[in-house]
Amino acid sequence: MTKTPDSQYKRLLREILENGTITESQQGVDALTLMAPQSLRFRFSNGFPIITERKISKKIWGQAIGEIIGFINGARTQEELSSYGCRWWKYWVTEEKCKKRGLEPGDMGLGSYGVAFHDFPTSEGPAYNQFKNIIEQIIEQPYLRTHFITPWIPQYTIRGKRKQQKVVVCPCHGWIHIRIIDNKLTLHMFQRSSDTPIGLPANLAQYAALTMMIAHVTGYEAYEYIHSFSDAHMFVDQIEHVKTMLEREDKTLPTMKLNVGTGKKKKSLFDFRVDDFELQDYYPHPGIWDIPVAI
């Protein structure tokens, strides 16, 4: 099947530029914010959603996939995430930021992704592993509409008077709904807050990779990845870089291959690693290396 060029990312950036509202942010840099823009839909037959408007190196997409693998395995600290190939949380788990939340340096906290996904607190005994149980449910009852996962543990994300937030960064992404239709698997991820020039390209790569991993261990075709937003924004010091990307022509998306063929099939979702992924046919525009990151 011949791929067609994909312009969805540019459409989103343009939509924010044209319709967004200037808002204050806790990072100290104003943002141009658009609530609930149109979702992005990626059928794997037309490529894997690593953007082509600027080059995303393996150092970035590899860390993004390593991050989601670490989170589904329960990683909560920078040291644990590093063992899965993701090192960028060091900027958010500094001694200063962790102390503010009553945490040890390097600790993302009780309300972090790894805890929610792998060790969700319950009142009935042991912590609850969401992904383990969802994989079992998909295999046993694939037709259900309740294959749903949340990254949100509300008692640890709340803040205010006499309240102590117990997470360095409240989860921005990871509300996941999976559907099996005609033996094809679609994963729909809802994102609370998206830094579209910097964070979104990593999120697209990691959740599309997660779609492939779940399809592999449940025996279904990885059909489509859908990405929806609540707050989609770009910081004002990123706007000129965004305009550069909007001037570039549309290109086809690359292909992502899972190196787990005959004799290598993974039996468990938790066994995947970054080296299982191989990016092919990636011909992006040149990288833009100086886009500011709000921390």
Domain ranges of the chain: 8-280
Q: The tokens of 6 are what?
A: 């994909």
- pLDDT at position 262, please? 59
Residue with tokens 């991050």: 67
- pLDDT at position 137, please? 98
Give the Cα separation of 141 and 180 in Å (integer): 10
Give the Cα separation of 227 and 208 in Å (integer): 9
Q: State what percent of residues in the chain have pLDDT above 90.
A: 94
- Position 269 pLDDT exceeds 90: yes
Exposure string over 214-234, b if 16+ CB within 10 A, otherwise e: bbbbbebebbbbbbbbebbbb
DSSP classification of residue 102 = T
Residues 210, 175 contacting (CB under 8 angstroms)? no
CB atoms < 10 A from the CB of 186, how many? Answer: 20
Reported CATH class of domain 8-280: alpha beta
Say how many residues make up the chain.
295
Positions marked catalytic: 172
pLDDT tens across 66-112, in order?
999 999 999 999 999 999 999 999 999 999 999 999 999 999 999 99
Question: Which helix (DSSP H) or strand (DSSP E) does residue 9 occupy?
Answer: helix 8-19
Question: Which helix (DSSP H) or strand (DSSP E) does residue 273 occupy?
Answer: none
Query: What band does 261 get if pLDDT is binned at 50, 70 and 90?
Result: low
Q: The tokens of 125 are what?
A: 């005994």
Phi-psi group of 263: left, alpha or beta (phi > 0 → left; psi -120 to 50 → alpha; rest → beta): left
